[in-house]
């Protein structure tokens, strides 16, 4: 049997991979995908806790995370596309975005 620590370690590593992606990548869509990885690792953590605590609440929380992830995906990609539209028509050279 796999212990809870192994699941947690797996999701922790996945979370950190996502964090690294956000910190080092400069492409908006890849940053966004890294954030999705972070949210997925949170979900995995919750499900693992839920299984080992014998409590369905953890699975319940995952639904809310998924809902919000979907909402964020819609809004985020809408923003990226709207920004692209301005860039395309205005000026491609002054991309000074994402230097934080």
Q: Find where tokens 């990548």 sit.
A: 25
Q: How far is the CB of 94 from another protein (least distance, A)?
A: 8
Q: Find where tokens 């923003």 sit.
A: 79
Q: How far is the CB of 89 from another protein (least distance, A)?
A: 9
Quick one: 69 exposed, middle or buried, by C-beta within 10 A (0-12, 13-18, 19+)?
middle
User: Considering only residues 58-97, where is the footprint of another protein by CB under 8 A?
Assistant: 58-88, 90-92, 94-95, 97
Number of residues that bind another protein (CB under 8 A): 94
Q: How far is the CB of 57 from another protein (least distance, A)?
A: 7
Q: Are 48 and 61 in contact (CB under 8 A)?
A: no
User: Considering only residues 3-62, where is the footprint of another protein by CB under 8 A?
Assistant: 4-10, 12-62
Q: Hey, which bits of the chain come out as E strands?
A: none
Q: How far is the CB of 93 from another protein (least distance, A)?
A: 9
Rounded CA-CA distance 58/36 in Å is: 19
């Amino acid at each position: 049997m796999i212990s809870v620590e192994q699941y947690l370690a797996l999701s922790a590593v996945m979370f950190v991979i996502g964090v690294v992606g956000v910190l080092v990548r400069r492409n908006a869509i890849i940053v966004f995908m890294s954030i999705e990885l972070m949210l997925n690792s949170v979900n995995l953590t919750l499900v693992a806790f839920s299984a080992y605590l014998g409590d369905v609440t953890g699975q319940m929380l995952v639904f809310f995370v998924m809902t919000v992830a979907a909402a964020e995906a819609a809004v985020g990609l809408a923003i990226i596309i709207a920004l692209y539209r301005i860039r395309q028509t205005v000026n491609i050279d002054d991309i000074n975005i994402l230097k934080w």
